[in-house]
Amino acid sequence: MTSALSQGVITAPPLPSMPHKERYFDRIDENDPSYLRERNMSPDLRQDFNMMEQKKRVTQMLKSPAFRDDLETLIQEQMNKGNTPTELLALQQISDYIMASSFSGSSQLGVAPINDIHPAMEATMAKGERLTRCKLASMYRLADLFGWAYLAKAYITVRVTKEQDHILIMPRGLSFSEASASNLVKLNIIGEVVEQGSTNLQIDPSGFSPHAAIYATRPDVRCAIHIHTPAAAAVSSMKCGILPISQEALLLGDVAYYNYQGSLDEQEERIELQKVLGASAKVLVLRNHGVLALGESLEEAFHYIFNVQLACEVQVHALAGAGGVNNLLLLDLEKFKPTTYCVAAAGGGGVNMEGDHKWKVGELEFESLMRMLDNLGYRTGYAYRRPLTREKPRHKSDVEIPATVTAFTFDEDPTMQQSPLRLLAQKQQREKTRWLNSPNTYMRVHVPEASFSGEMSPRTKIMWMKAEQQDKTSSGFPIKIEDPNQFVPMNTNPTHVLQTRNKIREQNRFDLKTAGPQSQYLSGIVVDKPNPALGMAPKVTTEILCQLRHAMRSCPSLSEPLQAYIVPSGDAHQSEYIAPCDCRREFISGFDGSAGTAIVTEQSAAMWTDGRYFLQAAQQMDSNWTLMKIGLKDTPTQEEWLISVLPDSSRVGVDPFIIQTDQWKSMSLALKNAGHLLVPVRANLIDSIWADCPVRPCQPLITLGLNYTGLSWKAKIESLRAKMAEKKASWIVLTALDEVAWLFNLRGLDVEYNPVFFAYAIIGSSTIRLFISGERLADRALREHLLLDASPPPEFAVQLEPYESILPSLRGICTGLAAKEKVWISDKASYALTEAIPKAHRLLSQYSPICLAKAVKNPVETEGMRRAHVKDAVALCELFHWLEKEIPKGTVTEISASDKAEEFRRQQEDFVELSFATISSSGPNAAIIHYKPVPENNRPLSVNEIFLLDSGAQYKDGTTDVTRTVHFGTPTEYEKECFTYVLQGHIAVSSAVFPTGTKGHLLDSFARAALWHNGLDYLHGTGHGVGSFLNVHEGPCGISYKTFADEPLAAGMILSDEPGYYEDGAFGIRIENLVLVVPAKTKYNFRDRGSLTFQPITLLPIQTKMINVQLLTQTEVDWLNEYHRQCREVVGAELEKQGRHNALQWLLRETQPISKAN
């Protein structure tokens, strides 16, 4: 075609190509103005017009439901063939186009979308943050539509998650109509920018200051909305405040009033606002300024701000019309109560296992407003809880899912409109969490509604029911569900999902032939496991942390402010179990586990603890704290975290009395290399803010004779001085409480579960100094025991000195040292005492000689430990016999079982106290390794669940620690399988033979081998040393995957053997005996080094009902039968002696031999 022709004008219709058919132009009127316009249209314009018409037709086709269904089917087929999403790029582009054009009004109105989060940005967000951003931006748009967006410092903020003190706010310079999810700025609690968002605009510090003060004092507040509309500003300037003259005013509850001066620049102003606000007010009136509404959710805050704005408008108009307050009718708050709205989903249409969803304050109204915004094309990204209509037309493919079953996902941040390809990927992922086996056939039926059953033609509702449940007279066509699975109904307890998952696992193991592929797939189901309730609400630490940070900045004993403060869990003696007066870490954080370190900076607070306490710490700490899980690869060390969060040249403080020397050295070096300084703070900052700190205990002491100790304290002093001479040390400083107690054959009750007392000792070549409380100086038994009123040889004359004088006394000793004299001290001692010894005179060792000496029990101590365990076994045989009778009655709880165990132990000779808090745990609570029952979570014991009891006692002749896992009904095959793997690990350690000089960590894999072989494991050590009427956890030996237990095992050491397995939300298993290290008889003796093995001293039956005998080797069966034979003979004789015949019969039944043949 030439260019001249292409620019011509069409003047007549083209000639027909097929004259025998009716032409289009034969049907038109050539005088029609529309035809004339088209005929005279230029070719370029006609081409554009045709292209627009073509796009319109294509768009209509793409937007049709049938095409979308066919596209999703095509994508599904391609995915089934193995194609990945990257290989389906064309389909992805089409699906993206469909979804982008499916929003009502989006192409016509040109409204900037609210949900404009880019996937790359979402990848860096906290869980639930995308949805929070969308809701906050939507709230800004609503405020603009309601006319609340005046050009003043009015802001809406929201806390990102309950776990973080990060706040979202719109930057200054944007109008409310421009708010979107991406341009919101994320701040920390003091107003520092954490994430800028998509703009370069800054936030308004003075506008944010009231919000910061509120979030700091009210951890329950998730959202704060601040407006000062004319009506709100007018009422805020009235002396009368908000008057009770309308329904909206009555809905506000307690209203707080604060004399606002325009900003909160001073600390005193913020404190005053926090005091005025109190703990429960949801509305705060800023005098002569405006109002603030608060809520535990954004929806609740919207509810209050909407009602307070309406109440202010009513009040302004009422006062203007009435001419004053005296002419208004005030409602009596006592007599006239506001109408409350309790909205639940409409009944009759859904499956409900745990009670249907109840709408919280503001949610229903807020959702309707989100629909309004979406209908206007705002693209809010809001996740709707309920569709607009109860029943809507469905495509045939939807019939596979029963129409009245609502999908429930264990996801806090459900996504909105997405492409079919993304929806497919998410669907496949959700199948891992929300599907359970169910019947294959459902039937659609019409059921009369109960409320209209009396009418001639009652209304009906559509329900999907199992075909086998249908009455034969009911009409309906049964529909086969191809995938024999069903949604987990809404509000299903995740624990039920876990329990069903375990049943499926069990069935699959023993029915592999008939179990289909979907059932096999379900055996790997993953859900968000519920945190078992620990019976206590997290401690609110906001105010305490504020006080500590103030002390860090302005403590009189500090020359310069601190940027961080470390709170270890121990006391001045580095004890594991501590007295109430030393529970500083628990006071500041709420976490009361035996292991953990807290670090507080100017903006953050973090807690490090190990796998025993992950669940407990998460339950006990509030959102001010970040849990650092020691042992996980992504968890930073304390030094790494400090270096990453501190500003340059920071000062990190710690009380030098409660940090070990070796810990100080490593942390000080790491911080120094990063340009920071570790500072000793001798006036403990926690003590300075702990107003009701308990006093240090001072209980009577217990003296032990040779029949319990085997050696006198004078003999132990002589042995210690011999060790000092080998090291050429003139003095030795003993700081560990159990070392002082062991050396002097004394015990105390100052620390619960540990028979120790507060004391230090400094031993010289001819001098003995014992530092104890002055109140004990008059104790007659103590004076006789230590020969204080006699005339012993000078080298055994004990000088008693006040407990608090240890530091000046040590300094005095060091002042008089000769040039080559040395003072021996363990690097586990406090840094304060170690630093008091000049380096030239300091002799450091990893452990003190006392630590090593008391770990190896002498024959008298060993025999005492055996006696203690026989008595302990008698008590526990009585307990398990009692439980066996009482549990079927339904009257036994975790606490009553724990109390009964203590009751039976107290009946035994020389019982003193428990050796630790009894772990009495049933069902899912047993999965919490260091669980402690309290009234709030006291679970009844059942014949349908596993029961784990980990307990021990302090007798004068020894310390016990024993764990048994039992079932008083019929355990599942999966539970028996897991128990058997744990038992195999227990036997492997107990029967191990190893060379003399072997360290404990080399034996840890013995306990885990059977579990590892089957893909299981546990997150705690396998064994720990145990003292003789001393601490239940004793160093320096142990069996663990960690290498901290560096001392080789030696004959006479006593350790625990306690592998386990824990399935969160379901059950926990642990088997624990104490074992004695003894020489082993071997066929050969390589290089005369000798061999060692273990001998159990705990003699309590291991429940054979829990064992899958077929998984055991014959050697393991023989070991167990021999162990039970010893239990029958030794413990049976003691039961007979004490006349406990019922318990004896229980013991004989539980120790019957087992056989693989049976």
pLDDT in tens, 463-479: 555 544 555 444 444 44
Q: How confident is the model at residue 1024 (pLDDT cuts 50, 70, 90)?
A: very high
Residue 490 lies in a domain: no
Q: How confident is the model at residue 428 (pLDDT cuts 50, 70, 90)?
A: very low
pLDDT of residue 360: 83
Residue 481 lies in a domain: no
The beta strand positions in 228-267, using DSSP E, are: 255-258
Helices (H) and strands (E) in the chain, counts: 37, 41
The two tokens of residue 365 are: 């109204």
pLDDT of residue 906: 96
pLDDT of residue 224: 94
Domain boundary among the residues 366, 394, 429 is at 366
Cβ-proximal residues to 50 (8 Å cutoff; 6+ apart), any chain: none
Residue 438 lies in a domain: no
Res. 1005: pLDDT tops 90: yes
pLDDT of residue 458: 53
Res. 1007: pLDDT tops 50: yes
1029 with 1136, same domain: the answer is yes
Mean pLDDT of the 64-71 span: 66
Res. 104: pLDDT tops 50: no
Res. 764: pLDDT tops 90: yes
Res. 396: pLDDT tops 60: no
977 with 1101, same domain: the answer is yes
Q: Are 762 and 721 in contact (CB under 8 A)?
A: no
257 with 291, same domain: the answer is yes
Percent of the chain with pLDDT over 90: 50
CA-angle at 23, arms to 17 and 29, nearest 5°: 135
835 with 879, same domain: the answer is no
The two tokens of residue 363 are: 């949610």
Res. 748: pLDDT tops 90: yes
- The shares of helix, strand and coil residues in the chain, as percent rounded to the nearest 5, are 40, 15, 40
Q: How confident is the model at residue 858 (pLDDT cuts 50, 70, 90)?
A: very high
Question: What are the backbone dihedrals phi and psi of residue 734, each rounded to the nearest 5 degrees, phi first?
Answer: -110, 125
pLDDT of residue 727: 93
674 with 720, same domain: the answer is no
Cβ-proximal residues to 889 (8 Å cutoff; 6+ apart), any chain: none
Residue 81 lies in a domain: no
pLDDT of residue 1028: 97
Q: Which of 323-337, 996-1010, 1142-1156 has the lowest mean pLDDT?
A: 323-337
- In 3D space, the residue among 865, 861, 848 whose CA is nearest the CA of residue 1036 turns out to be 848
Res. 15: pLDDT tops 50: no
The two tokens of residue 45 are: 């314009």
The two tokens of residue 120 are: 């790359």
pLDDT of residue 373: 85
The two tokens of residue 1047 are: 């001392």
584 with 560, same domain: the answer is yes
What is the Cα–Cα distance from 441 to 881, expressed in whole angstroms? 48
Res. 246: pLDDT tops 50: yes
The two tokens of residue 932 are: 């402690």
Percent of the chain with pLDDT over 70: 74
Q: How confident is the model at residue 628 (pLDDT cuts 50, 70, 90)?
A: very high
832 with 731, same domain: the answer is yes
**Length of the chain in residues, anyone?**
1158
Q: How confident is the model at residue 164 (pLDDT cuts 50, 70, 90)?
A: low
pLDDT digit string (tens) for 295-318? 999 999 999 999 999 999 999 988
Q: Which of 614-618, 758-762, 1067-1071 has the lowest mean pLDDT?
A: 614-618
pLDDT of residue 379: 82
839 with 870, same domain: the answer is no
pLDDT of residue 1098: 98
Residue 100 lies in a domain: no
Q: Are 77 and 145 in contact (CB under 8 A)?
A: no
Q: Return contacts of 75-82, CB within 8 angstroms, 24+ apart.
A: 75/420, 75/421, 75/424, 76/424, 79/424
> Residue 814 is part of which domain span?
703-853
Burial of 389-399, coded b for 16+ CB within 10 Å and e otherwise, reads eeeeeeeeeee
Residue 1019 lies in a domain: yes
pLDDT of residue 521: 33
pLDDT digit string (tens) for 823-855? 999 988 999 999 999 999 999 998 899 999 999
Mean pLDDT of the 971-977 span: 96
Q: How many domains does the chain have?
A: 4
Q: Are 214 and 289 in contact (CB under 8 A)?
A: no
Cβ-proximal residues to 279 (8 Å cutoff; 6+ apart), any chain: 218
286 with 328, same domain: the answer is yes
Q: Which CATH number characterizes residue 287's domain?
A: 3.40.225.10
CA-angle at 741, arms to 916 and 660, nearest 5°: 75
Crossing angle of helices 65-80/43-62, nearest 10°? 70
- Amino acid identity of 926? A
Q: What is the pTM of this model?
A: 0.57
Res. 514: pLDDT tops 60: no
Residue 679 lies in a domain: yes
998 with 1017, same domain: the answer is yes
Q: Which of 238-252, 347-361, 1105-1119 has the lowest mean pLDDT?
A: 347-361
pLDDT digit string (tens) for 981-994? 999 999 999 999 99
pLDDT of residue 218: 85
Most trustworthy range by pLDDT among 339-348, 491-500, 1044-1053: 1044-1053
Give the gyration radius of the chain's Cα atoms: 38
Q: How confident is the model at residue 77 (pLDDT cuts 50, 70, 90)?
A: low
609 with 747, same domain: the answer is no
840 with 867, same domain: the answer is no
Domain boundary among the residues 853, 883, 903 is at 853
Domain boundary among the residues 322, 337, 366 is at 366
Q: How confident is the model at residue 266 (pLDDT cuts 50, 70, 90)?
A: confident
Q: Which CATH number characterizes residue 845's domain?
A: 3.40.350.10
**Residue whose entry in the numeric block shows the structure tokens 């002491």:** 701
Residue 314 lies in a domain: yes
